[in-house]
Amino acid sequence: MTFLRQWSLIFRRELMAMFNMPLFYILCGIFFLLTSLVYLLMLLGFSRGDDGMSVNITDSVVRPTFHALHFFLLVQIPLLTMRMFSEDRADGMLDLLQTTPVSDWAVLAGKFTAAVAAFSIYIAMTAIFPFTTSMLSDVEWPVAVGSLIALVLSTAAYLSIGIFFSSMTDSQVVAAVLSYVVIFLFAFAQVFAEGTGIIPLMDAARHLAVSEHVAMLLSGNIAPMNIVYFIVLGFVFLFLTARTLEMRRWRS
């Protein structure tokens, strides 16, 4: 069986499992409800000319909305990735898969791309905000495009982290908690480092913090280093997941 065939079987299985979960639809509905509320509040504040609001609708509405979108995704992703390997470990499905000719990388690729495909629904819903705003005023499209890219890249990176911790434990709760800890450390590394007052640590945290690169993309700075950062972050955790699966295969 070719790698593509193996990947296709896992991908379809995982995507159907995701779409059969009531939790997916509940979280998707909550996500769109909260983001729509944030968008409307920002839009109303801009229309009233509230103090502190910029005269630029992109700065006042689009960018803050995408900051909120990023945070909501950060909160939801571990809840949907926690089952991806933990459930298979608990019910013995992973042991069964590892006795077949299906490679660990095919299993991992299938699960990861299925998660990305499911979350593409989230990303697609967010595109409505800049398009709606463009009907009311001129939108800085580099900022809007950079914001969408930031969501896609950060979502893929967070998914890889969640999948890694799901591969390490049979407990979905433990997988979710560990994912939250690491994701929040990456997301707010700069804030934590600033509390120490140590300059070298602050400089290092500024380059490692997800929030720094997200902020650059949200400002329309689609620089290669910001894109490479998320690709490397995601690949590192996917590689660690593959190594975890390989070690489990050899132990069994």
pLDDT in tens, 19-58: 999 999 999 899 889 999 998 888 888 777 654 555 677 7
φ, ψ at 92 (rounded to 5°)? 85, 0
Q: Which of 25-39, 154-168, 198-212 is the least confident region?
A: 198-212
Q: Has this prediction a pTM greater than 0.85?
A: yes
pLDDT computed for residue 194 by the predictor: 64
Amino acid occupying residue 62: V
pLDDT for the residue numbered 208: 75
pLDDT at 62 over 80: yes
CB 156 within 8 A of CB 116: yes
CB neighbourhood size of 63 (10 A): 23
The closest of 163, 162, 181 to 192, measured between CA atoms, is 181
- Quote the tokens at residue 118: 């499911």
Chain-wide mean pLDDT for the chain? Answer: 84
Average pLDDT over residues 219-224: 75
The pLDDT of residue 110: 93
Q: What is the DSSP string of 134-151?
A: HTTS---HHHHHHHHHHH
Distance, CA of 252 to CA of 243 (rounded, Å): 14
Tell me the pLDDT band of 133, cut-offs 50, 70 and 90: confident
| Tokens 């499209």, residue located | 141
179: which 2 tokens?
Answer: 């994912």
**What are the distances in angstroms from CA 84 to CA 10, 116, 129, 160, 184?**
11, 13, 31, 11, 20
Q: How many whole angstroms separate alpha carbon 39 and alpha carbon 136? A: 13
pLDDT at 195: 61
Distance CA(216)–CA(206), nearest Å, equals: 12
The pLDDT value given to residue 172: 92
- Nearest to residue 159, comparing CAs of 97, 247, 237? 237
